[in-house]
Homo-oligomer: A and B are copies of this chain.
Amino acid sequence: MSIMEKQIKQGTVGVVGLGSMGLGSALALVDAGFDVVGFDVNAAAVEKLQAGGGRTVASPSAVAREANIVLVVVVNSDQVDQVVFGESGLAETLAPGGLIIQCTTVAPSYVRQLDEKLAERELGLLDAPISGGSVKARQGELSVMGSGSKACFAQADEVLKTVAAKVYELGDKAGIGSSMKLVNQSLAGVHIAAAAEAMALGIHMGLDPDTVYEVITHSAGNSWMFENRVPHILNGDYTPHSAVDIFVKDLGIVHSTGRELTLPLPIASTALQQFTAASAAGHGREDDSAVIKVYEHLSGLKLPTASKD
C-alpha cells in the first residue's frame, strides 16, 4: 500500500485547540495530505488554519460530525472537559468507535476518569501528551508520550506518525502517558528555575553571564533547559516560546499529584513558587526564562538587556 493510499484511507482528522502546538500539528497534517477540520474559539487561530489549507467549523461537535479521529490540544483539564462534554462538545456527535487523541498536559488521575467516561460511550482515548514546542509541531516532529489500547494506537497510527518524530508506546492504560509527561515537566520546570537561580547567583557574584553560559554548557551542571533557555536571558529577550504561566500550571499538576499520592516533592514545589512569584510580578505571559526576574525584583540584580549589542 502506497503512502498516498494510506492517506486516502485515513480520511478526515479533527483538531480542537489551535494554539501554537495544535495549529502546528494541524498544518503538518494538511501538508501530509489529510483532510483537516479544526476548531478554536480564537478567530485569528482559525484564520491561520484556513490560510494553511485546513477547514474550520463552528464547534467541537461540528468537528466530530466530520472526523472520527480528533486531536485535543488545549490548555488544561477544564478545557478538555469543556470541549469533550460541554455544550456542542465532541461527545455529542463523535460516533461509537471514534477516537480522541488527548495531547494536553493533565493529571494522570484526570485522564483515567476521562477514559472511563469515554469508554461508556464506546469512544476510544489515547493518553498522548506531546512535547517539542511550536517549531517541531509545525514540522511534524513532536514527541508523544502515549498510552492506550493497541487498537487505539493502530487507529491513530498514521496521524501520530505525521505529527511526531517519536512515539513512545508506554502501556495499554490511560494515565501512563500523562504520568511520564508529568515526570518530564517536573524536571523541565525545576531545571528552568534552577538555571535562572544559578544565573542570578553568577551575575550577583560578578561573573560575566556569557562566560557562565559557555562554561556551564560544557560542565556537569548542564541541562537541556539551561542550554535552551539561558540564551533568552543573555539576549534580554523574553518573547514567549513557552510562557511562565505554563509552568505555573504544569508544576501545579505535579504538586497536586504529589498530594494525591501523599508524596512530598519539595524541589518541584519550590520551583512552582518561583514561577508563581514571576506570574505575581506580572511576567506570566513572558517566556518561562523570565522566572529570573523574581531574583531581579528582590535583589536589584542587573540582568542583560536586549540593547546590549
Partner-B contacts on A (CB < 8 A): 108, 131-132, 143, 145, 166, 168, 170, 176, 179-180, 182-188, 190-191, 193-195, 197-202, 204-207, 211-212, 215-216, 218-226, 228, 254, 257-258, 261-268, 270-271, 273-274, 295, 298-299, 301
Contact = CB atoms under 8 A, between A and B. Distances in A.
B263 A295 contact: yes
Query: Which among A170, A215, A265 has the highest number of chain B CB atoms within 10 Å?
Result: A215
Given A184-B216, A224-B220, A299 B195 contact: no
Given A176-B207, A183-B199, A220-B225, 6 more contacts: A179-B207, A184-B219, A187-B221, A197-B267, A222-B223, A264-B298
B274 A221 contact: no
Nearest to A219: B184
B180 A207 contact: yes
28 contacts: A131-B220, A168-B211, A170-B215, A179-B202, A180-B207, A182-B201, A183-B198, A184-B215, A184-B216, A184-B220, A187-B195, A187-B223, A190-B194, A190-B267, A191-B223, A198-B268, A201-B261, A204-B261, A219-B224, A222-B223, A223-B225, A263-B295, A263-B301, A264-B295, A266-B274, A267-B267, A267-B270, A267-B274
A74 to B, nearest CB: 20
How many copies of this chain does one complex carry? Answer: 2
A170 B211 contact: yes
Contact of A197 (B131, B195, B201, B268): B268
A197 B265 contact: yes
A168 to B, nearest CB: 6
B188 A220 contact: yes
A182 B199 CA distance: 11
Contact of A254 (B184, B201, B220): B201
A223 B187 CA distance: 9
A150 B139 CA distance: 50
Contacts of A207: 170, 176, 179-180, 183
A110 to B, nearest CB: 13
A266 B273 contact: yes
A166 B263 contact: no
Contact of A206 (B179, B202, B263, B271): B179
A103 to B, nearest CB: 15
Task: List 7 A-B pairs, minimum CB-CB distance, nearest first.
Answer: A187-B221, A223-B223, A184-B221, A179-B205, A190-B194, A270-B270, A183-B202
